[in-house]
Amino acid sequence: MPSYDTLSEAMNSLKADGYNLDFNISFDTLLCKQNGVCLNPSQFEIEKYYRFEGNSDPDDSSILYAIESMDGTMKGLLVNAYSIYSESASDDVLKKLSLAHH
């Protein structure tokens, strides 16, 4: 897995690899911003992830997830804060996301 110096560099590279959709956490699902489709934890896999830490502030950290739907029809990215500022999500979504980076 390649390493990246910046979040934007990683996002540009992954978009070139077909991860073109943008996902947000919507409590118990991942919501695709482009088409409004929601994926439950059982409907997606985390293919890759990258953690980025802020240079001046440890609370300024994020994780980039490269996500693909189980049926292979959707590939996209989710950026989430890696601190107390992370988005609110259900236990199932959090478990799936946390398992990816263990």
C-alpha to C-alpha distance for 32 and 93, rounded to whole angstroms: 14
User: Domain map of the chain by residue range?
Assistant: 7-100
pLDDT of residue 84: 45
Query: What would the pLDDT profile of 49-74 be if each residue is shown by its tens digit?
Result: 898 886 655 556 888 999 999 999 99
The pLDDT > 90 percentage for the chain reads: 44
pLDDT of residue 57: 54
Of residues 52 and 82, more confidence is placed in 52
pLDDT of residue 85: 44
